């Protein structure tokens, strides 16, 4: 089933890009999740990023904490619902949003956590080799009000020539800017370029990410977590890959 949108018999919107944004958890859940990540940071694990933040080892899938397992289940469920959208009408279950008969896809991947403090940021990146990227915001600290784009998640328009089309009332070439909020998850195709703007303020900003190519990945910001997924071996296991020795774990298989 095509995802193109027919505005009229003569006019259609094409090149659709699915992006999901919703709140999963709040309150004490995110507080516990933030403490889990910060404990790993205090234990001396991980490394410092070029943008000034901290990143854990890519072994988050091996962490035994209940909060991580619950979060993972919610994210994977959301990814499966997105996978169901382009299904044939005959396979669609109208009683369950995003539910499709036999549409379940097992994912495998690796994951890590990030922590951004004052003036820290995450430069433009793309998760090549994966299907989905999911970012879960654990905490956002107390951002300085006078700073524009403070800690904002920015997803770039993937059409390279779109910025040259300055058409009134059309946002061609304009990025999607998302204000981070605790508990907010954003899931989008992993081939989209994205970045996190510098955070200025008190406390830390935290978000987990998940990247799927029939696998998964996730990343986070007050203690950000990042996961990557593919139906094949993790790219980190390939010679010359950016990621070294990630521990794999199968998720959502039947």
pLDDT in tens, 20-77: 999 999 999 999 999 998 888 888 788 888 888 888 887 887 889 999 999 988 988 8
The full set of domains in the chain, from first to last, is: 30-233+245-249 (2.60.120.10)
8 A C-beta contact, residue 212 and residue 82: no
The band of 109, judged by pLDDT with boundaries at 50, 70 and 90, is low
Higher pLDDT, residue 206 or 114:
114
């Amino acid at each position: 089933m095509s995802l193109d949108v027919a505005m009229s018999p003569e006019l259609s919107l094409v090149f659709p890009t699915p992006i999901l944004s919703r709140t999963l958890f709040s309150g004490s859940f995110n507080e516990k999740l933030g403490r889990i990540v910060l404990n790993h940071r205090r234990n001396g694990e991980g490394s410092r990023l070029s943008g000034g933040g901290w990143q854990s080892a890519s072994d988050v899938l091996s962490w035994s904490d209940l909060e991580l397992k619950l979060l993972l289940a919610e994210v994977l469920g959301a990814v499966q619902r997105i996978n169901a959208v382009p299904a044939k009408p005959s396979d669609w279950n109208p009683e369950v949003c995003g539910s499709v008969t036999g549409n379940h896809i097992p994912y495998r991947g690796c994951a890590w956590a990030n922590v951004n403090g004052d003036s820290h940021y995450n430069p433009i990146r793309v998760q090549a080799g994966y299907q989905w990227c999911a970012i879960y915001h654990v905490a956002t600290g107390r951002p300085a009000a006078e700073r524009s784009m403070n800690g904002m998640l920015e997803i770039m328009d993937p059409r390279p020539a779109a910025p040259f089309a300055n058409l009134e009332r059309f946002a061609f070439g304009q990025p999607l800017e998302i204000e981070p909020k605790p508990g907010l998850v954003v899931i989008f195709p992993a081939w989209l370029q994205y970045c996190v703007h510098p955070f200025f303020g008190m406390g830390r900003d935290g978000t987990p990410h998940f990247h799927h190519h029939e696998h998964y990945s996730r990343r986070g910001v007050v203690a950000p977590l990042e996961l990557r997924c593919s139906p094949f071996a993790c790219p980190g296991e390939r010679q010359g890959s950016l990621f070294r020795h990630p521990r794999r774990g199968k998720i959502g298989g039947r």
